Structure 1
Amino acid sequence: MITFYDILGIALAMSIDAFCVCICVGMKYNKPANYMRLGAAFGFFQFIMPVAGAYAGRLLMKYTGNIKYLAAAFLFYVAFHMFREAWKNKECKVYLSDPTVGVALLMLSLATSMDALGAGISLALWDGGIIWASCVIGIVCALMSFLGVFIGKRSRGYVGHYAEYFGAFILAVIGVRFVL
């Protein structure tokens, strides 16, 4: 049984990528419009992707039965990927042109929300409302994006990759709970 705290943990973990990108972007692009565009775009994509993943997960359940272990495997994969990315990327990329507009914003939004697609497959196991869970994920991501831009403006990117380790740990713990 997935609880509200599990959804909140998933939301925080899924938001880590967007948070880290926003720290890097916020080092240079930190006007109120940048906050709003990043928060809205990242939050929207973090809302949509779990819905799509849950739909795919329910289709899988329909044809394969129980997908509990598959859902846990997706979370472990995403956790491993986050840990590996944090290990490889020790510093933020400073963007030369504004990444909060146009195609750059779309690409960043897609890139930071792909793990939410896998989390959505895991959410297919939940009997609760996927729309409600996706709203929580989207809102948390938007708030984390605002916070990331703010921290980027203040810290110049020193905390970015440590957040990736934390997100990977959260997902691994939730994956273990799925199996137990």
Structure 2
Amino acid sequence: MNLSATLLLAFGMSMDAFAASIGKGASLHKPKFSEALRTGLIFGVIETITPLIGWCLGLLASQVVLEWNHWVAFVLLVFLGGRMLIEGFRGENAEDTQKLQRHGFWLLVTTAIATSLDAMAVGVGLAFLKVNIIETALAIGCATMIMSTLGMMIGRFIGPMLGKRAEILGGLVLIGIGCQILYSHFYF
């Protein structure tokens, strides 16, 4: 695979994380660049690891991975998105007016895993091609880190305009990504 194909693949794989990061950034109260970078690093590291796992699985049992990865991603994203919707629709009281300053580590990890399962499937496919999987995985991880950090900062500006609806929008984005993954599996 040449450099341009690797870069296209890397940025293509980062789009789900980018969309989720916009929602995450919008649901926080003016996230700082350090929080955006933290989110980008978590998403980037996981997005680097998943194609490597997929590549290893592709060498072992590609059919099983390809049969179930879309369902796992769908369930995780719908669960996380539903949780955000519930929080967004809750009535505001004194506690709710204080927006989060930072997302929990495990929430970010779970979201990153859910948005990176497609990269695992790509890794399975890459196992059958003559590619340097380490370089490709690092390119995917770096692109995801950049796009997730950028998404958080974009969300920072969208969040104040949307208020409590930002969390609802973020939840809808995650559910939409899950549905898109399921749809693309069955129809493409």
TM-score by length of 2: 0.63
> CA offsets per residue over residues 54-92 of structure 1, 9 Å max, x none?
1111224xxxxxx8xx7xxx5xx96xx89xx8xxx8x98
Q: Which amino acid aligns with 1:142?
A: M
Which residue in 2 is equivalent to 1:117?
A: 120
Name the amino acid aligned to 1:149: M
**Structure 1 stretches lacking a partner, 5+ long:** 61-66
Contact 2:51/2:122, CA 8 A, preserved across alignment: yes
% identical equivalent positions: 27
In the other structure, the counterpart of 1:153 is 156
Counterparts of 2:103 and 2:20 in 1: how far apart (Å)?
10
Matching of residues 65-84 of structure 1 within 5 Å: none
Q: CA deviation at 1:144?
A: 0.4
Q: Look up the equivalent residue of 2:136 and give its one-letter code.
A: A
Q: CA RMSD in A?
A: 4.3
Which 5+ residue runs of structure 2 have no aligned equivalent? Answer: 89-98, 160-165
What TM-score, normalized by structure 1, do the two folds share?
A: 0.65
Supply the AA of the counterpart residue of 1:5: S
Corresponding residue for residue 10 of structure 1: 9
Deviates more, 1:120-129 or 1:41-50: 120-129
The equivalences for 1:31-50 within 5 A come to 31-50=32-51
Contact 2:33 2:153 survives alignment (8 Å): no
Whether 1:99 aligns to 2:98 is no
Q: Deviations over 1:86-128 (max 9, x none)?
A: xxx8x9886857325x322221222222221111101112212
